[in-house]
């Protein structure tokens, strides 16, 4: 049933991917500014012992002690996100070459949603939960790696089906869509933040969810499973069973399956996108 699902035709795949990533990135960028303001406000209230739910004036929160604590929180978030992304990049690359691009793309988007929802919950319950608990937002990224893995999966989809001559153009359009979302997000959030600081955060979560569901449901799976490494029994494989050497009468040494898998991984261009992708994660982003 899954193989007969409707997918975007290849002629429309570039604008579809660009639009989907634009929506996702716009959602993520919408939450950047209010997240920083909300974290600063919570740190400031903890410092002065204030329990009010109203935002404090920013001038009151510019003291050295408040800013040092805020920098500590931001650094902890950066470390959490970076470690989580680095830990799962290689395993997810292996899985993407085994089970397909779309399942890993779906996991990465789900991990982004869970991470963002966790951070919003900690900020909502700031009176009851120590604010350092926000450092745990990297834990959901262990499920799918977050935005860096999602971008790598999209690049992998393009690399799978686009000819070499057109690949650079496709990459440029995707990067342009992501950068446009990054630029417009803070502009819109400045207006959306006026009625309530939570408005852009909820819209951000909604945009990531909608964009993620659309791209996972309607994007085609591009992994060519026919080129996968055959199983150890050789069932369904075109590779012949090793024969006896006619002189030595000894079986030739078989390549271990683990080594064959590693060979396959490093011959695919997708894996080389991960080290740079991990470094693209910004503080407070997932």
Q: What is the pLDDT of residues 103-146, one digit of tens each?
A: 999 999 999 999 999 999 999 999 999 999 999 999 999 999 98
Is residue 127 left, alpha or beta, with left meaning phi > 0 and alpha meaning psi from -120 to 50? Answer: alpha
- The architecture in CATH of the region 30-226+248-278 reads Up-down Bundle (1.20)
Burial of 284 (0-12, 13-18, 19+ CB in 10 A): buried
Instruction: Decide: 78 and 245 in contact? Cβ < 8 Å.
Output: no
- pLDDT tops 70 at residue 221: yes
Tokens encoding 69: 């604590």
131-161 exposure pattern, b = at least 16 Cβ within 10 A, e = fewer: beebbebbebbbbbbbbbbbbbbbbbbbbbe
**Is pLDDT of 259 > 90?**
no
Residues 5-40 have pLDDT tens digits of 788 888 899 999 999 999 999 999 999 999 999 999
Question: What is the mean predicted confidence (pLDDT) over 241-270?
Answer: 45
**pLDDT above 70 for 45:** yes
pLDDT of residue 260: 54
Q: Residue 60: what pLDDT? A: 86
| Strands annotated E in the chain | none
- The mean of the pLDDT values for the chain is 81
Domain positions in the chain are 30-226+248-278
Query: Model confidence at 226, in pLDDT bands (50, 70, 90)?
Result: low
Q: Which two tokens stand for residue 43?
A: 């740190």
For the stretch 56-109, pLDDT in tens is 888 888 888 999 999 999 999 999 999 999 999 999 989 999 999 999 999 999
Cβ atoms of 94 and 262 closer than 8 Å = no
Query: What is the pLDDT averaged over residues 155-183?
Result: 92
d(CA 82, CA 281): 7
Pair 109, 277: CB distance under 8 Å: no
CA 21 to chain centre: 11
Q: Which SS3 state, helix, strand or coil, does residue 52 take?
A: coil
How far apart (Å, rounded) are the C-alpha atoms in residues 168 and 247?
Answer: 52
216 Cβ partners below 8 Å, 6+ apart? 102, 105, 106, 109
pLDDT at 271: 45
The residue length of the chain stands at 286
End-to-end CA distance of the chain: 33
Q: For the residues 170-182, what does the mean pLDDT come to?
A: 94
């Amino acid at each position: 049933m899954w193989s007969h699902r409707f997918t975007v035709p290849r002629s429309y795949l570039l604008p579809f991917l660009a639009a989907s990533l634009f929506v996702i990135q716009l959602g993520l960028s919408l939450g950047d500014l209010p997240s920083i303001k909300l974290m600063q406000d919570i740190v400031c209230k903890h410092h002065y012992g204030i329990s009010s739910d109203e935002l404090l004036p920013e001038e009151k929160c510019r003291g050295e002690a408040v800013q040092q604590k805020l920098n500590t929180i931001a650094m902890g978030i950066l470390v959490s996100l970076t470690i989580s992304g680095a830990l799962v990049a290689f395993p997810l690359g292996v899985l993407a070459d085994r089970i397909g691009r779309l399942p890993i793309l779906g996991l990465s988007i789900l991990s982004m949603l869970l991470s963002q929802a966790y951070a919003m919950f900690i900020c909502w319950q700031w009176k009851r939960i120590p604010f350092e608990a926000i450092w745990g937002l990297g834990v959901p990224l262990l499920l799918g790696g977050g935005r860096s893995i999602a971008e790598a999966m999209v690049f992998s989809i393009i690399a799978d089906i686009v000819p070499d001559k057109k690949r650079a153009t496709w990459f440029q359009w995707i990067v342009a869509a992501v950068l446009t979302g990054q630029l417009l997000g803070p502009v819109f959030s400045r207006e959306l933040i006026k009625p309530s600081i939570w408005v852009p955060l909820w819209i951000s979560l909604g945009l990531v969810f909608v964009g993620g569901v659309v791209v996972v449901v309607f994007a085609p799976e591009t992994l060519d499973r026919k080129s996968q490494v055959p199983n150890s029994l050789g069932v369904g494989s075109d590779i012949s069973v090793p024969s006896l050497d006619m002189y030595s009468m000894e079986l030739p040494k078989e390549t271990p399956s683990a080594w064959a898998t590693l060979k396959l991984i490093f011959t695919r261009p997708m894996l080389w996108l991960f080290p740079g992708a991990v470094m693209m994660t910004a503080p407070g982003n997932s």
